[in-house]
Structure 1
């Protein structure tokens, strides 16, 4: 095809080519991966030199000067011959660092670079996600505050129930997101470094290098861990760090996916009711066949990707379950896919959700119309109580009045319901109440009895307290990263 490039002749993951941000894409890129490997070899050599092994400043300088000089063609050719990716890159690095060649990867196993690199990428991936999640929470908190006292129909079983407010409903979304924030932060902070543990985790090769000096082996582990930016390493490992770490990581991301799916499903339902819409660009086309439609495409994208994110957690669960003894290599191919894809997917749903929450459109008049359609039924208890009060103070009078009033309002409610359901008419219960002489003692109170704001309970106060005590505090560490706009590619 004229004008087509080589990249269009083979499959490309939409997570990278279509959706995810540059930072997250780079975090899991081959370039970052192999630069990290080389950096880990430098950390190892620096620590070994400090502890007395015969490594020169010239060797370290040579390694550092060629940190980013990666010949991917050479590495691929060597991997085809050696059938080993780590050794291929050891040889490629050694080609640029002939003086340092004897001490590159000294005493280490492949998982020294492989697993430690994965842990660095997981940590850095969380560091990309957390500010994005904070921005979503911030935008949604502003929305909740703005609409804290706007009455709206509450739904249970997707049937009209007692009123709530638009802001209070947003706080239900926020509560889940704040839980996700805590979960992601905990999972990030719980990550440790694998460190230098050797082929089966016994550190035997390093103990041999240091002539049986256990203290130096422990110090080597500590120094490399510190150089890599971790506070702790796992004290015991097999050849790999426990794959339960991957479970923990992907579980919190899957949980975030569930939250986003629920929020965006709610937005899609409300869009159908024409109460709330996601932002709609000036030149955006909602439907190729129906020009007036405004499809909730961003919320739909979030739901579709969130399902993928939730499904990915099954991979580390099954991988951890079948790690035979000190390790088996059937984890490698799976983790190359499941770990990056989880972070890439989480990244794009947060970016998309930020775009949605920055431009949510509310239609108060539509919301009011829906309330007016249902409120007369909800107000029947208020009408009964008003009639009871108007009937006298003695106990027997109140009991008889309540029973009598309940009978009247029940009949009128059924008649009004028949008009709505069978004839498709509007809810005329209020007109029936006004026309019935029985209710003449409270006609002057009906407008007050039907004020929507008398049906929302403490929703506005709950919003205010929740935002102040639960939401704003978790955003404090990210205050300097709030003013970032999201430009969605597609």
Structure 2
């Protein structure tokens, strides 16, 4: 390659890394949409959760008198300890970084930070406090994964409950609005891309709504597991140090006090199976929503959906001013695909750990926020895209006017039913309709002439003659209304 073609800071361009430009688009261009996830799934949020778990473990041990000879905490001491994770901020983040630079261990750095905080308790609580003497209780009987698995369970649960699920609900709420708006609007269906039995657009959106709602229901039922049973899951250090304590009961109570489900069957790590299940469900939600995005793109292309330019917040094409590009739906597609790739990787990787422990999950879990962030970004774009469209009933009606051939199915099946009921002259209905419709323009007149010449029973003939592509929608209108019923209970 010619030296003149190299694009590099060393060739005279500004080194953007020196001004802190974000490498990830989630922390740069798209941060305004997904920044709230940082409260739960950033490195700082993980450390805050670790501190919370460590302090609650210390309080739990002392409150349950699991450690013979240890003092009982006062209310003021409990409040002082719990103030640390509540106030956790920039100063603590910087101090943790300094400690970790020495320890080369992130959880050990958390332990030491808490120890420093406890040794300073006399400044607030006076000389009578026992906290400076209790630093050895911090992280007692714990391996790092005892703290990590609980911290991740708490932060993931909070992120899903407080951010991801509300975003998903905004999507399904908008779909209900579109279902209601289009419940009675007939539309030519397309199977294999070809004209097919008509539906209403409301019914089609109701199908997607139901699919997404089922996945939301699964995600809402996620079981967040946790453990705190030592280096290889046997409570070995616990029972050798304090053999008279009922450690399974003590630790179960602690895990359940955190609002998690206790898992007593572990190696050094909690197996992460619940995480794999969650990410698989989110990926499935993503793929269904991706299907919605691509269908909306197609409906816009067909003219069935009209885009409101001001609602889309877009100037359209950079060179063709007549265009309103469906960018929200395209952006949603791309971000759902990225999220799915990460969710699939998380689900596949986290269920495996060599023997009793390896560290592959450590790096993997640091990408949970990225996976959920791209999903949240995609959902946001999809919702904004859906809020910027109107249903063009006239365009759909115009298409139906040209597709009388779709009534061939209705006529064929009515002939079959009539034959079973005893009518004569109903033989070979499929072949007769194929001859009429396949490869031929079928008008209202030719279809009605064909129906009139079949010799159908009068009631059947009258029913078919009254039919049109606009009214051959079956129970579409009823199906659309089912979105207002609790079909999942």
Q: Decide: shared fold, TM above 0.5.
A: yes
For 2:64 and 2:434, how far apart are their aligned partners in 1? Answer: 88
1:345 paired to 2:363: no
Cα pair 1:24 1:347 within 8 Å, conserved = no
* C-alpha displacement of 1:311: 1.3
> For residues 257 and 276 of structure 1, what CA distance do their matches in structure 2 show?
22
Partner of 1:200: 232
Q: Name the SS for the 1:71 alignment partner.
A: helix
Q: Show the 5 A alignment for 1:30-45.
A: 30-45=43-58
The one of 400, 422, 427 aligned to 1:371: 400
How has the CA–CA distance of structure 1 residues 146 and 106 changed in structure 2, closer, same or farther, with 3 Å as cutoff?
A: same
Deviation at 1:380, TM superposition (A): 4.8
In the superposition, the TM-score normalised over structure 1's length comes to 0.79
Matched, 1:464 2:481: yes
Matches of 1:448 and 1:4, distance apart in 2: 75
Task: Compute the displacement of 1:464 (Å).
Answer: 2.1
Contact 2:40–2:156 under 8 Å retained in 1:
no
Aligned to 2:136: 102
Q: Distance in 1 between matches of 2:221 and 2:449?
A: 62
| 1:42–1:60 Cα contact (<8 Å) kept | no
1:172 and 1:323 mapped to 2: Cα distance? 39
CA contact (8 A) 1:145 1:167 kept: yes
SS in 2 for 1:242: coil
Counterparts of 2:472 and 2:113, CA distance in 1: 72
| 8 A Cα contact 1:244 1:320, kept in partner | yes
Counterpart-to-counterpart distance in 1, 2:82 and 2:336: 41
Counterpart residue number, 2:27:
16
In the other structure, the counterpart of 1:477 is: none
* Superposition deviation, residue 270 in structure 1: 0.6
Offset of 1:372 from its aligned partner? 1.3
Give the 3 Å change call, closer, same or farther, for CA 7–113 of structure 1 in structure 2. Answer: farther
Q: How does 1:44-443 map to 2 (within 5 A)?
A: 44-52=57-65, 53=67, 54-55=70-71, 56-57=73-74, 60-67=78-85, 68-69=87-88, 70-98=91-119, 99=132, 100-128=134-162, 129-187=164-222, 190-194=223-227, 196-209=228-241, 211-215=242-246, 217-230=247-260, 232-277=261-306, 279-281=308-310, 284-320=314-350, 322-337=352-367, 339-374=368-403, 376-380=404-408, 398=425, 413=437, 416-417=440-441, 429-430=443-444
SS at 1:452's partner residue?
coil
Q: CA deviation at 1:78?
A: 2.2
- Give the drift of 1:362: 0.7
**How big is each residue's C-alpha offset from its partner over 1:153-210, in whole Å with a ceiling of 9 and x where there is no partner?**
11111111010111110111112111111221122xx11222x21111111222234x
- Secondary structure of 2:357's match? coil
Distance 2:394 2:49 in 1: 56
Tell me: CA distance 1:3–1:26, structure 2 relative to 1, closer, same or farther (3 Å). farther
- TM-score under structure 2 normalisation? 0.80
SS in 2 for 1:285: coil
Q: Which has the higher helix share?
A: 1
Whether contact under 8 Å (2:350, 2:364) holds in the other structure is no
Asked if the contact 2:180/2:202 (under 8 Å) is kept, the reply is: yes
Q: Gapped runs of 5+ residues in structure 2?
A: 1-11, 120-131, 417-421
C-alpha distance in structure 1 between counterparts of 2:408 and 2:249, whole Å: 75
Deviation at 1:111, TM superposition (A): 1.3
**Maintained 8 Å contact 2:306/2:390:** yes
> How far apart, in 2, do the equivalents of 1:66 and 1:21 lie?
26
- SS of alignment partner, residue 66 of structure 1: helix
Q: 1:7, 1:368 → 2: CA distance?
A: 59
Query: How far is the alpha carbon of 1:30 from its aligned partner?
Result: 2.9
CA shift in 2, pair 1:65/1:133, >3 Å: closer
Distance 1:279 1:344, change over 3 A: farther
Q: CA deviation at 1:87?
A: 1.0
1:110 Cα deviation from its structure 2 partner: 1.0
- Measured after TM superposition, the shift of residue 371 of structure 1 is 1.1
> Distance in 2 between the 1:434 and 1:452 partners?
12
Q: Measure the CA separation in 1 of the matches of 2:200 and 2:185.
A: 5
Aligned length: 444
Distance of 2:412 and 2:361 partners within structure 1: 67
The worse-fitting range, judged by mean Cα deviation, of 314-323 and 268-277 is: 314-323
Q: Which runs of 5+ in 1 are unaligned?
A: 389-393, 418-427, 474-490
Query: For residues 451 and 28 of structure 1, what CA distance do their matches in structure 2 show?
Result: 55
TM-superposition CA deviations, 1:217-261 (whole Å, max 9, x none): 23421332243223x311222111103222112101111111111
